[in-house]
Every structure is written in C-alpha cells, then in structure tokens.
Structure 1
Amino acid sequence: MALQVGAKALKASRARLRQGGDRLDAVGDTPTACLLLFYAAECGMKERLLTRGGHRDSAALDYQHDLRRMAKDLKMPRDMADRLDKLQSCRLQQALGTIAMADLHQAWRYGAKLDIEDEKAVHAALCELISWCEQD
C-alpha cells in the first residue's frame, strides 16, 4: 500500500527537496542534486494535479514517476512538453545504454552515471518543471 498525502504536504516537500537539491548543486554534487530535484518536480506536479482536480489526497493519482505523463495531464506549455519528450531516454556514460526518464531516480539513487550533456539537460528541465509548479 502506497503512502497517501495531501496537496499541502506535497507542496512542502517540493520546496524542501528543491532547497536541498539547490544546495547540493552549489557544491558540485549534480547527481544527488538531480535526485532531489526529480522528487521535487514529482511532488510539485502531483500537488498541482490534486489541487486542479479537487482531490483530497494522492490516492486519486496513479502516475508512479512518469513526469512526462503528469506534464501532459497538466497541459504544460508546449516547449516544456517538447523538452521532456526529447529526454524520454537518457544516455548512460561509457555507452552502457540508456535509461527512461521515469527511471532516472533509480540511476541517481544507485550511482549509475549519466552522460554529462544529458544530465545537464535533465537538470535544467527539472528546474523548469519545479518553477512552473511554483508559479501555476
């Protein structure tokens, strides 16, 4: 059984995770920063879905970690959706294959190394998603 939380808790988690991610990024720990920013974006988007949908808690949502699907359902601006489409498959370093965007949190959590350019692009996209959630 998954933990069910309301919009207020998700909003607070988004802010806390973004602050942590920004602090880690400032000291050069980009992979761990991206992990926290991924979760911040996920919390922010789920909070927006709950609020817009008038739902009480996250039991109403079934997105797992699919940021692209959430962005589509939130009807985010087309340029943001296009950016996420391009990042649906991110390269791993040393030509070890690719990983789906929805699984990136696992790569960062378990220490897999992403291609530097793809990681930069994902970092920028996550920051953009979080900012959008903060302003929506």
Structure 2
Amino acid sequence: MTIPFTDREIEKAWRENKSVYITSAKEQRKNSHRLLLFYAVECGLKAILMRREGKKRTDLCTNIYEFQHDINKLLDYLRVGGNVRLPSQLSMEKLRSNNGYDERKFSAGELNQMWRYGGCCSTGATDEELEKKLLEIVAWIDGELKRP
C-alpha cells in the first residue's frame, strides 16, 4: 500500500529537498546531494502533475503511481519541451562475477537507486552531467510552480 500525500506536502517536499541541496553548494557533491536533488525534481514534477490534473492527493492522481521515479516519463507526460530529458540508458562499471563480468545497465527511472547505494554512472552520462540536467529541470519547475 502506498501512503497518500496532499499537494501541499508534495510541494513542501520539493521546496525542502531543493533548499537542502542548494545550501550545500559549497561542499563537494556526493551521491547524497544528488539524491536529494533527484527527489526534489521528482516531487516538483509530481506537484505540477497534481496541479494540472486538479488533484489534491497523490492517491487520487493515478499517474503518479504509474510513473514511479521515472523523471523522463513525468517530463514526457507534462510535455516539457527542450532538451531536459535524462539519458534513457545508463550504466555503472561492470561487476566481476564467476563468469567474467556482469553488466549493470539501468534507466533514468533507476538513477535514484544507483546514487542511494553509492554507485557512479560510467556510460550514458557522468554523475556531474546528470546533476546539471536535473538542475535544468529544477529551473523549469520553479517557473511552473510560480504560475497561479
């Protein structure tokens, strides 16, 4: 079962996660910083989705559960223009196994998982490039949420 949240709670999560990320700007970026940025973007996009669909609770906005953590799916659904999508195919360094090496490919919807467990992106984009893309999305979200 998924916990329902209100539109106000989602927007507050957007603001707080973004704020913590921004106030840590003087520090060298680590996965924990990027993870907060990722979740800020996810909350911001979901807040816009709820606003556009006139929903006040996440459990009444079925698309939220369909998109999960996939930033690109949210961007597509919201018809965000420009080149702000994250790369669709990413990977980490191969993992040594008994049979040689195992691939560790993942999608933009699993980016949070990679950063949560301390991974680094090796192909598709660097962590820094992904962070820059997320910041571009932050700028777009800021503009959208300022609209009445």
TM-score, structure 1 normalization: 0.86
Consecutive unaligned residues in structure 1, runs of 5 or more: none
Which residue pairs with 1:7 in the alignment? 7
Whether contact under 8 Å (1:24, 1:32) holds in the other structure is: no
Root-mean-square deviation (CA, aligned residues, Å) is: 2.0
CA distance in 2, matches of 1:55, 1:101: 26
TM-score, structure 2 normalization: 0.79
CA distance in 2, matches of 1:130, 1:46: 13
Q: Are 1:97 and 2:104 matched, yes or no?
A: yes
Hey, which of these two has a bigger chunk of helix by percent? 1
Across the two proteins, how many residue pairs are aligned to each other? 132
Percentage of identical aligned residues:
22
Cα shift readout 1:47-71 (whole Å, capped 9, x = no counterpart): 0000011012111122110111110
Rg bigger for which structure? Answer: 2
CA distance in 2, matches of 1:49, 1:104: 21
Cα shift readout 1:70-110 (whole Å, capped 9, x = no counterpart): 10111101322xx42xx112232468533211111111111
Q: How does 1:51-70 map to 2 (within 5 A)?
A: 51-59=51-59, 60=61, 61-62=64-65, 63-70=67-74
Q: Greater relative contact order: 1 or 2 (C-alpha under 8 angstroms, separation 6 or more)?
A: 1
1:76 to 80, 85, 95: 80
Q: Are 1:123 and 2:131 matched, yes or no?
A: yes
What is the DSSP-based 3-state SS (H/G/I as helix, E as strand, rest coil) of the residue aligned with 1:79? coil
Which residue pairs with 2:143 in the alignment? 135
Moved >6 Å (runs of 4+): none
What is the DSSP-based 3-state SS (H/G/I as helix, E as strand, rest coil) of the residue aligned with 2:83? helix
Code of the aligned partner of 1:134:
D
Code of the aligned partner of 1:74:
L
